[in-house]
Structure 1
Amino acid sequence: MESQIHKIHQQLVSKEISCTKLVQERLDLLKSNTHNTVNSLLDTLALDLAAKVDVKIAGGQEIGLLEGIPFGIKDVYMVQGTLTTASSDLLKKYKSPYTATAIQKLLDTGAIPLVKENCDSFGHGSSSENTIFGAVKNAINTDLVSGGSSGGSAVNVAKDFTVFSIGGDTGGSVRQPAGYNKIYGLKPTYGRISRFGLMAYASSTDCVGPIAKSIEDIRIVLNVMSGKDIKDQTTYQSKAISEQNILNADEIKTVGYFKNFIETDAIDAKVKADFLSAIGKIKAKGIEVKELDFFESDTLVSTYYTLAMAETASNLSRLDGTNYGNRIEGVNLKDTYSITRSENFSEETKRRIVGGNQVLSQGFSDEIYLKGLNLRDQISENFEKDFKEVDIILSPVTPNSPPKIGDSLKDPLAMYLSDAYTVGFSLGQLPTLTVPQGTETGLQITAAKNNDELVLKFANFLKDTI
């Protein structure tokens, strides 16, 4: 199978390239790039680790598959001793005291971190414009947004600045930028990978997700990061997915799609035509295709943002400049809290905190928040019913093409609605993969909970079909 990880591994083993040279070349690309993907370079750490790999190879020792492979990290993950800013003023000088579990697992294999990557501040956005480091520019057309919130991670992979990157997906933050930049991005089943050390946005849907240029590289990285973690009680032990297992998709007999995603005025005409063309090619391979009923997009977006804003208001309440962060002194303690949060949070983050506190407040929580929880349960039940009828659900990643830089900031509602096709699968906590085929922003492949392997199987099938 196509794989940059395998290719680079062979180049290192055969001494076709040294690890130090490989890492230095990628660091140079990151330094000179004009897409605003870099929050901070981990150059000293990366070169030290690369030198150790070179010593092992020179000494005739075996190296692991990921050993010496350069990767990027969205700047919402703790890596001990490094700046972890969440692209925010509040944490622009904050250094991590520990390392996130998912990242530590990669470090334990010998993978080499190069960069903390630009993103929407605290994951709040769908365009990677809501950042103190400047808007991340699309890898294909720099006039367009990169998608968010893992925009820097997606662009670094698309431009070959990193071999793979680790993003974070709450409502589509890995899948949407992967689609905008024509690469692969996976939101695994919720709980498959530990969230310990990932700055929490909405704890009930936050997922650690790999971004790469091939299905095989997604599989390799997913296997390494997966597993039970005593520091995250939502995690579970999962079975490793083998390369051989995802080569054959014969067990996939039925594919479904939500007709209300396609039969709506909100979808771009070309996205609709391309999606239906992909469906036609799948049918031609002998797979049964079923139209499914689902909640309207407006209901999905409203439910997701009601719950996500409530959770982020709670999660970010700890950031007041007392224990960490950029504290701004006021005339008294209350004034200090107020000024610190007002001055250091972005407009979008403040919008979400205010919205979250509103739906949790007395007089509103029963009417709005509890209704959102009830709708989330109904959405999960709908998925359980659907997966009794179909093996896979296929959908566009977004209803429209990527907007120009600046447009999303003028219209927050339009930004929220760009998540219409991703948030439902987040609420259902389902494994969903963006593939760079089918429409201008790719296709989403979704399977039932804990069935991440089936998603990768169908992705391989699609690669040769459309």
Structure 2
Amino acid sequence: MSEIHKIHQQLMNKEITCTKLVQDRLGLLKQNTHNTVNSLLDETALALAKKVDAKIESGEEIGLLEGIPFGIKDVYMVQGTYTTASSDLLKKYKSAYTATAIQKLLDAGAIPLVKENCDSFGHGSSSENTIFGAVKNAVNPSLVGGGSSGGSAVNVAKGFTVFSIGGDTGGSIRQPAGYNNVFGFKPTYGRISRFGLMAYASSTDCVGPIAKSTEDIRIVLNAMSGKDVKDQTTYQSSSISKESVLNTDAIKTVGYFKNFINNDAISAEIKADFLASIEKIKAKGIEVKELDFFESDTLVSTYYTLAMAETASNLSRLDGTNYGNRIEGDNLKDTYSITRSENFSEESKRRIVGGNQVLSQGFSDEIYLKGLNLRDQIAANFEKDFKEVDIILSPVTPNLPPKIGDSLKDPLAMYLSDAYTVGFSLGQLPTLTIPKGTATGLQISAAKNNDELVLQFANFLNDLI
């Protein structure tokens, strides 16, 4: 059931006012005990709601997204708001401009309520690496909310926002969506502009929506998509219609990676549930094929080699000179050193040091170039697979969400929790988490630019499971 359509009808029929809708959601965000809020945009939100009410009062038509309250992961620039990336370095930083994807939603009339808690600079899979306190899971507050877009997923799951905009580099939308039983979509790389999203790893960073239905995902995806002169990796994509995603006859074959399932790392419960879902798909007359893929350890090490290298490069600009919380030392070099040492989280420092290591002389040929070569092999493997199957299905995570505190003690375990998401990031493929099939959901992937097919299969699975 689409919440966007429902609220749109209520506003048009004058069953609710936009001001009351926004006030209610702001009230829930203020009271919430899940640590999802970095800052509230209450003044802006209420001013925008007033305008929507005035339009409705005067009998004007309003767009589908007009007046719909949403949340924004705190790594997106929104002019005049604090954009902290949940870090000490940027905790007082105010954006001078607005990210393209967010601007498109504002142009469509959607109302931003909140900048949402996340792992600092997107570094983490649990939303514990943050100066605002760990995000608590929507279902069980003693567990992590997932990451890095944990606050965004929890806000949607709890009904604090109608949808939220997360960021996905190696699974940061899909994994928290799975942990909190909501839908999360990483579109094809380049479908949505990255301009105004703080860069983590530029070759896999994607902007995407988290919502409670595939229809809401489709609406928000269409609003944000398109070519942007400020991001050279973007391309023009056609709009996905409501009718087309309800046509599920196009999918004849589904594949899954057998080494994801026949693996010591996967919990018995998730494995059994995944295989049961596969049987249900077979029973509907769809051909299911077992596929060969890279070992999950190879995927994780390839992804983190490249992501750490890119983040070390991207974050080198944060030295307290142009922006950020500067801490003075005895000289300029000392100032840089203290500013970065004191203001970056342990996890960010781990990734910057690791990234500089793999890019350094003597190591770059040995490690970084090998990583680039493996990424090409992974992309080629996907191209081969999608000649045989329409869709690849996989678990979102090998295990259930950990308790808060556990991931901080074991960073390697946290990296390995991304085993099933990072491959699709390296392949730059459209991939959706659907909260069905296993305790942390199922992941649906298609070939590049086949975002529509992913949503079609999601609708098919929604009815089936």
Same fold (TM over 0.5): yes
- Equivalent residue, structure 2, for 1:63: 62
In the alignment, the residues of structure 1 paired with residue 370 and residue 69 of structure 2 have an alpha-carbon distance, to the nearest angstrom, of 45
**Deviation per CA, 1:349-404, whole angstroms, max 9, x where unpaired?**
00000000000000000000000000000000000000000000000000000000
**Deviation per CA, 1:146-190, whole angstroms, max 9, x where unpaired?**
000000000000000000000000000000000000000000000
In the alignment, the residues of structure 2 paired with residue 108 and residue 29 of structure 1 have an alpha-carbon distance, to the nearest angstrom, of 25
Report the alpha carbon displacement of residue 41 of structure 1 after superposing the two structures with TM.
Answer: 0.1
- Equivalent residue, structure 1, for 2:283: 284
**Deviation per CA, 1:110-159, whole angstroms, max 9, x where unpaired?**
00000000000000000000000000000000000000000000000000
Report the alpha carbon displacement of residue 436 of structure 1 after superposing the two structures with TM.
Answer: 0.2
Which one-letter code corresponds to 1:272 in the other structure?
A: K
- Equivalent residue, structure 1, for 2:317: 318
Pairing 1:424–2:446 present: no
- Equivalent residue, structure 2, for 1:445: 444
Pairing 1:121–2:109 present: no
Report the alpha carbon displacement of residue 251 of structure 1 after superposing the two structures with TM.
Answer: 1.0
- Equivalent residue, structure 2, for 1:362: 361
What secondary structure is seen at the aligned counterpart in 1 of 2:26? helix
In the alignment, the residues of structure 2 paired with residue 413 and residue 426 of structure 1 have an alpha-carbon distance, to the nearest angstrom, of 19
Report the alpha carbon displacement of residue 44 of structure 1 after superposing the two structures with TM.
Answer: 0.2
Alignment of 1:208-219 (within 5 A): 208-219=207-218
Report the alpha carbon displacement of residue 249 of structure 1 after superposing the two structures with TM.
Answer: 1.0
Pairing 1:37–2:36 present: yes
Which one-letter code corresponds to 1:126 in the other structure?
A: S
- Equivalent residue, structure 2, for 1:9: 8
Which one-letter code corresponds to 1:298 in the other structure?
A: D
Alignment of 1:172-191 (within 5 A): 172-191=171-190
- Equivalent residue, structure 1, for 2:94: 95
Alignment of 1:130-149 (within 5 A): 130-149=129-148
In the alignment, the residues of structure 2 paired with residue 177 and residue 419 of structure 1 have an alpha-carbon distance, to the nearest angstrom, of 11
Pairing 1:351–2:338 present: no
Alignment of 1:349-428 (within 5 A): 349-428=348-427
Alignment of 1:254-269 (within 5 A): 254-269=253-268
Report the alpha carbon displacement of residue 253 of structure 1 after superposing the two structures with TM.
Answer: 0.3
In the alignment, the residues of structure 2 paired with residue 249 and residue 14 of structure 1 have an alpha-carbon distance, to the nearest angstrom, of 33
What secondary structure is seen at the aligned counterpart in 2 of 1:289? strand
In the alignment, the residues of structure 2 paired with residue 225 and residue 246 of structure 1 have an alpha-carbon distance, to the nearest angstrom, of 18
- Equivalent residue, structure 1, for 2:22: 23
In the alignment, the residues of structure 2 paired with residue 367 and residue 331 of structure 1 have an alpha-carbon distance, to the nearest angstrom, of 37
- Equivalent residue, structure 2, for 1:164: 163
Pairing 1:233–2:232 present: yes
Q: How many residues in Structure 1 have an aligned counterpart in Structure 2?
A: 465
- Equivalent residue, structure 2, for 1:464: 463
What secondary structure is seen at the aligned counterpart in 1 of 2:235? coil
**Deviation per CA, 1:227-250, whole angstroms, max 9, x where unpaired?**
000000000000000000000111
Which one-letter code corresponds to 1:257 in the other structure?
A: Y
In the alignment, the residues of structure 2 paired with residue 194 and residue 408 of structure 1 have an alpha-carbon distance, to the nearest angstrom, of 31
What secondary structure is seen at the aligned counterpart in 2 of 1:290? strand
Which one-letter code corresponds to 2:200 in the other structure?
A: Y
Which one-letter code corresponds to 1:453 in the other structure?
A: E
What secondary structure is seen at the aligned counterpart in 1 of 2:256? strand
In the alignment, the residues of structure 2 paired with residue 369 and residue 53 of structure 1 have an alpha-carbon distance, to the nearest angstrom, of 51
Which one-letter code corresponds to 1:157 in the other structure?
A: V
In the alignment, the residues of structure 2 paired with residue 463 and residue 426 of structure 1 have an alpha-carbon distance, to the nearest angstrom, of 24
Which one-letter code corresponds to 1:445 in the other structure?
A: I
- Structure 1 segments of 4+ aligned residues over 4 angstroms from their partners: none
**Deviation per CA, 1:181-233, whole angstroms, max 9, x where unpaired?**
00000000000000000000000000001000000000000000000000000
What secondary structure is seen at the aligned counterpart in 2 of 1:464? helix
In the alignment, the residues of structure 1 paired with residue 53 and residue 142 of structure 2 have an alpha-carbon distance, to the nearest angstrom, of 40
In the alignment, the residues of structure 2 paired with residue 249 and residue 364 of structure 1 have an alpha-carbon distance, to the nearest angstrom, of 48
In the alignment, the residues of structure 2 paired with residue 440 and residue 146 of structure 1 have an alpha-carbon distance, to the nearest angstrom, of 14
- Equivalent residue, structure 1, for 2:193: 194
Identity %: 87
**Deviation per CA, 1:57-113, whole angstroms, max 9, x where unpaired?**
111111100000000000000000000000000000000000000000000010000
In the alignment, the residues of structure 2 paired with residue 292 and residue 452 of structure 1 have an alpha-carbon distance, to the nearest angstrom, of 21
- Equivalent residue, structure 1, for 2:432: 433
What secondary structure is seen at the aligned counterpart in 1 of 2:354? helix
Report the alpha carbon displacement of residue 410 of structure 1 after superposing the two structures with TM.
Answer: 0.2
Which one-letter code corresponds to 1:347 in the other structure?
A: E
In the alignment, the residues of structure 2 paired with residue 175 and residue 53 of structure 1 have an alpha-carbon distance, to the nearest angstrom, of 32
In the alignment, the residues of structure 2 paired with residue 362 and residue 246 of structure 1 have an alpha-carbon distance, to the nearest angstrom, of 50
User: Structure 1: which 5+ residue stretches go unaligned?
Assistant: none
In the alignment, the residues of structure 1 paired with residue 301 and residue 77 of structure 2 have an alpha-carbon distance, to the nearest angstrom, of 31
- Equivalent residue, structure 1, for 2:273: 274
What secondary structure is seen at the aligned counterpart in 2 of 1:425? helix
In the alignment, the residues of structure 1 paired with residue 35 and residue 363 of structure 2 have an alpha-carbon distance, to the nearest angstrom, of 40
In the alignment, the residues of structure 2 paired with residue 253 and residue 296 of structure 1 have an alpha-carbon distance, to the nearest angstrom, of 27
**Deviation per CA, 1:333-355, whole angstroms, max 9, x where unpaired?**
00000000000000000000000
Which one-letter code corresponds to 1:385 in the other structure?
A: K
Which one-letter code corresponds to 2:362 in the other structure?
A: G
C-alpha RMSD of matched pairs (Å): 0.3
In the alignment, the residues of structure 2 paired with residue 266 and residue 230 of structure 1 have an alpha-carbon distance, to the nearest angstrom, of 43
In the alignment, the residues of structure 1 paired with residue 314 and residue 403 of structure 2 have an alpha-carbon distance, to the nearest angstrom, of 31
